[in-house]
Amino acid sequence: MKPVREPDESRVSHERRVLLFAVLAGAPGGLVSLILLWTGDFSLRTQWTLSVLIVGLWLGFAFAARNHMVRPVQTLANLLAALRQGDYSIQARGARVTDALGQAIIEANALSEMLREQRLGALEATALLRTVMEEIDVAVFAFDGDARLRLINRAGERLLARPAEALLGRTAEALGLADCLQGEPHRTLSMTFPGGAGQWDLRRSTFRQGGLPHELLVLSDLSRALREEERQAWRRLIRVLSHEINNSLAPIKSIAGSLRNLVRMDPPPADLEEDLFQGLTVIAGRAEALSRFMASYARLARLPPPDRKPMDVEPWIRRVVELETRLPVEIVPGPPVTIQADGDQLDQLLINLVRNGVDAALETGGGVRVGWSVVRGHLEVWVRDDGPGLADTANLFVPFFTTKRDGTGIGLVLSRQIAEGHGGTLTLVNRSDGPGCEARLRIPLGAAVTLS
């Protein structure tokens, strides 16, 4: 705020100027009246009485005019001084819109009301921000230009295991936060504090207060969320594995018990060998199915990074399509493209997509089409089928979720993992131009990819 300029005593004040102008305004009439009075044929007593009356009225009206002009200005000055000091409760009264001074007072009153509402809104917003900062489970610190702590919330107090009164004013180095004020403004780091240890998401930004730069530091504990996600993942995995293993062990246990009873029968039944053969066949089939399931899961968990080599897109697609013998698959040609990719992994991905499309098309007697294109620096390979479509698209990429009777729920998850390993995406949606689904693989071309 700029300092108020001290008045210049050598200059004539506004009040004196108003009084001087009022006196000068009445001077012609007063002087003429006095001249006529003293040159006329009046007694001395009459002359002095009328002279005192004329001069008294003259000066009285001058001082009255001065007060009438100065008092509203003083009222306006007091109102503005109150506004400058932050007191918005004072209001000037008696202002009229018919005169200029009244309009100035009305505008000052309106300004006072507006500033009062703004200050009230700022106080409410500050109170809300303070409440939010105290309640959120994220540590917030504000440091000034000298790296001294100026603000901390309740979560920050818990993290440093000390109250705010003992922390404010101390340097970041003394608080063990000096490393957080250096390096990348957004990163993940592992640190140990008096109130906790683990992985932290660090965010740092700058702001100004009082014209001086400050730094805002926010630390979010990732360990708790990661542990909870890990627990949820283990629960889902155990639930799915238990379901699949029990589905295989239950019939194996039942058939093994039946075969054991048959072997103990005396005399043995005539069809013992046939029963043993059938029972062992079922046991072998269920064991093989369980082995395939576990092998699929192991393959999903141990997918290696792609071994990128030059690969022509058209021969790759034609080679995969020729592997499908249950239904002729139509190829919609696209531009000649060479990409850097892991051919074995992309073979597995496209085989899964084509097989799923053929499985769906066989249910309705429709067809399957495969094509590719280059769109905005990406290779897009699509597989469209005329099948019945998908009833549940939310769980398509959930591990072990399947709508097929003999499915494992691994194919689409593995395919998406392969696509993401190449920096791309894989989507599967119901078609909007007709029945069936469309699977779309999108891989960025990158600098290592050339168009033939």
Query: For 357-410, how does the pLDDT look when each residue is reduced to its tens digit (9 = 90+)?
Result: 998 899 888 899 999 999 888 899 999 999 888 776 555 555 544 555 554 456
Cβ–Cβ contacts within 10 Å for residue 410, how many? 20
What is the CATH number that goes with domain 309-451?
3.30.565.10
This prediction has a pTM of 0.42
Side-chain half-sphere exposure of 407, counting CA atoms within 13 A = 17
What is the CATH number that goes with domain 136-221?
3.30.450.20
**Tokens 């019939």 belong to which residue?**
251
Q: Check residue 399 and give its pLDDT.
A: 53
The CA distances from residue 241 to 244, 298, 402, in Å, are 5, 12, 14
**Contact yes or no for 345/306 (Cβ under 8 A):** yes
Q: Cβ contacts of residue 119 below 8 Å, gap of 6+?
A: 86, 88
Q: Check residue 447 and give its pLDDT.
A: 36
Q: Which parts of the chain sit beneath pLDDT 70?
A: 1-12, 14, 94-95, 97, 126, 226-227, 229-230, 233-234, 236-241, 243-244, 247-248, 289, 292-302, 392-410, 446-452
Interatomic CA distance for residues 98 and 271, integer angstroms: 120
Each domain of the chain, given as residue ranges in start order, spans 14-113, 136-221, 226-301, 309-451
